[in-house]
A = this chain, B = another copy of it.
Amino acid sequence: MTELMEPAMIVRRSLHDELIDRLREMIVTGDLEPGTKVPEQNLAAKFGVSRTPLREALKVLASEGLITLTPNKGATISQLTLEDLEEAFPVMGALEALSGELACERISDAAIGVIRQLHDQMIRHYQAKEMPEYFRCNQEIHNQILAAADNATLTSMYRSLSGRVRRARYVANISKKRWEQAVSEHEEIIAALVARNGAALSEVLKRHLVNKFETVKETIRSAGVGNLQEA
């Protein structure tokens, strides 16, 4: 009897699910700018769907804080105020610290190896002054640590915050000095991870984030990033 080739499962996501992801992506990447109104008909037409699934998606995004829903007046992309950032960062810090502790308890040698490779690669990008690639590695390292913590609740909460905050785009101009500091912090991160020293990793991750936040605030103050609205 000939073996049937396993046909690729047809995955048909529901429209509202698809819409949630697409809209979230558009908001986080800045395709949809904060403050802009989101007329339902308009958007529904753009996506080629009816208003019903779109509205369902908007409700979810509103509960995530990415969209602001005003009764009878519709949806707008949430403004990210400086206060929002100042609120979000300590929470992110706490979560990241936790992820460090949990990761040290659970991470496998193989996973550490992967992170080390990413780290080395990141360092090379640093030396070559390749910012975007550097940031990609950077992001991926933090993702790997989060993954090693192996806690879905933690991951989803961190992701949610991270998504909200990422809308503040500050990456363009990072000072040379700050970059050095960040790299040095990353050396500490690797060291703590290899030593499986949860307390140390937790501490340095938190410090890393605080410094990052300082940079963001500085950038915002000087550049007056459009995405941000002074509170």
Contacts and interface: CB of A to CB of B under 8 A. Distances in A.
Interface of A: 12-14, 16-17, 20, 52, 55-57, 59-60, 62-64, 71, 84, 87-88, 90-91, 93-95, 97-98, 102, 151-154, 157, 161
Contacts of A93: 98
Contacts of A56: 55-56, 59
26 contacts: A13-B71, A14-B71, A16-B59, A20-B63, A52-B52, A56-B59, A57-B59, A59-B59, A59-B60, A60-B60, A60-B62, A60-B63, A84-B153, A87-B151, A87-B153, A90-B98, A90-B154, A91-B153, A91-B154, A91-B157, A93-B98, A94-B94, A94-B95, A94-B97, A94-B98, A153-B161
A139 to B, nearest CB: 21
Contacts of A157: 91, 157
Nearest to A97: B94
Contacts of A14: 71
A88 B55 contact: no
A180 to B, nearest CB: 29
Count this chain's copies in the assembly.
2
Nearest to A93: B98
Contacts of A102: 90
Contacts of A64: 63
